[in-house]
């Protein structure tokens, strides 16, 4: 493996690290509601939840915005990035999910600006401070992936991996499941993550933002659960 490949691999591993200190561990993204309502209650239903989230939600929403933000950076198009950020904001109906995405994005910027200051990212930060952008995590992830020259497929695979790993970690705690059950679910979803990353590259623009009504409802219900371990 040449030095160029090693450079992008190191950047990818860092960017998609599930333990990155941005606060992701405090959010279940609605899973806590699914567990309390007994919809997710064992290893089989936990795997079904994660797989469905990946194929029918993330692919058409956050994953798609990673791709679009990546391509906007390649074209050095700040205006398009701001439009994508605001489109993403409008699609996140549940308040907790919207706020979580914004906080994760801000913290991701805080970490990676220590590595290198990119002019386009600095302009994006100014837009955030001016109220012209919302700092959504998927937008920031896609921007940094492009700025650090991580190939698009690998960037999407890394994004889906960290998302899936986070959901599985939450399921292990909430259902609860054994740690090895969680690892078996992760192993079984490798092909799904790879397939979804390829599909995201070719996604129809008209399908981006596809509504997931049940997911939105469960996320809104989370705000009023009697007891909560997670912020969303």
Helix H, strand E, coil C: the string for the chain is CCHHHHHHHHHHHHHCCCCCCCCHHHCCCCHHHHHHCCCCCCHHHHHHHHHHHHHHHHHHCHHHHHHHHHHHHHCCCHHHHHHHHHHHHHHCCCHHHHHHHHHHHHHHHHHHCCCCCCHHHHHHHHHHHCCCCCCCHHHHHHHHHHHCCCCHHHHHHHHHHHHHHHHHHHHHHHCCCCHHHHHHHHHHCHHHHHHHHHHHHCCCHHHCCCCCHHHHHHHHHHCCCCCCCCCC
**Cα separation, 75 vs 211, whole angstroms:** 28
* Residue 1 in this model has a pLDDT that exceeds 70: no
pLDDT at 24 (0 to 100):
83
Q: Are 7 and 25 in contact (CB under 8 A)?
A: no
pLDDT at 40 (0 to 100):
96
Give the pLDDT band (50/70/90) at residue 6: low
Digit-coded pLDDT (tens) for 171-216: 999 999 999 999 999 999 999 999 999 999 999 999 999 988 889 9
Q: How many CA within 13 A on the CB side of residue 53? A: 26
* Residue 2 in this model has a pLDDT that exceeds 50: no
Digit-coded pLDDT (tens) for 132-148: 999 999 999 999 999 99
Q: What is the pTM of this model?
A: 0.95
User: Which residue, chain included where needed, has tokens 């992760």?
Assistant: 186
Digit-coded pLDDT (tens) for 46-102: 999 999 999 999 999 999 999 999 999 999 999 999 999 999 999 999 999 999 999
pLDDT at 226 (0 to 100):
83
How many angstroms separate the Cα of 47 from the Cα of each of 130, 165, 216?
41, 11, 19
**Cα separation, 200 vs 208, whole angstroms:** 10
At 21, list the tokens: 């200190």
**Cα separation, 66 vs 232, whole angstroms:** 21
Residue-averaged pLDDT of the chain: 94
**Cα separation, 219 vs 33, whole angstroms:** 7
Using CB atoms within 10 Å of the CB of residue 207, give its burial: 0 to 12 exposed, 13 to 18 middle, 19+ buried.
Answer: exposed
* Residue 232 in this model has a pLDDT that exceeds 90: no
**Cα separation, 18 vs 34, whole angstroms:** 22
How many angstroms separate the Cα of 151 from the Cα of each of 5, 68, 91, 105, 216?
10, 14, 27, 20, 31
pLDDT at 3 (0 to 100):
46
pLDDT at 198 (0 to 100):
98
Of residues 24 and 20, more confidently modeled:
20
pLDDT > 90 in the chain, percent: 88
Contacts of 170 (CB under 8 A, 6+ apart): 28, 29, 31, 32, 230
């Amino acid at each position: 493996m040449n030095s160029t490949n090693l450079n992008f691999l190191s950047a990818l591993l860092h960017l998609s690290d599930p333990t990155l200190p941005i606060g992701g561990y405090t959010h279940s993204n609605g899973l806590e509601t699914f567990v309390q309502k007994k919809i997710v209650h064992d290893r089989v239903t936990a795997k079904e939840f994660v797989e469905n989230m990946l194929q029918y939600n993330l692919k058409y929403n956050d994953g798609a915005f990673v791709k679009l933000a990546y391509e906007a950076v390649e074209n050095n198009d700040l205006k398009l990035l701001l439009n994508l950020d605001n489109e993403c904001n409008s699609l996140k109906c549940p308040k907790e999910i919207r706020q979580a995405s914004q906080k994760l994005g801000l913290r991701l910027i805080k970490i990676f600006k220590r590595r290198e200051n990119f002019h386009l990212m600095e302009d994006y930060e100014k837009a955030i401070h001016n109220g012209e952008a919302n700092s959504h995590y998927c937008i920031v992830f896609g921007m940094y992936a492009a700025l650090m020259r991580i190939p698009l497929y690998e960037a999407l695979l890394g994004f889906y991996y960290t998302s899936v790993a986070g959901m599985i970690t939450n399921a292990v705690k909430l259902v609860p499941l054994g740690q090895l059950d969680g690892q078996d679910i992760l192993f079984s979803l490798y092909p799904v993550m790879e397939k979804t990353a390829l599909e995201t590259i070719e996604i129809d623009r008209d399908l981006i933002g596809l509504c997931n009504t049940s997911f939105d409802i469960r996320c809104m219900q989370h705000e009023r659960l009697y007891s909560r371990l997670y912020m969303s």
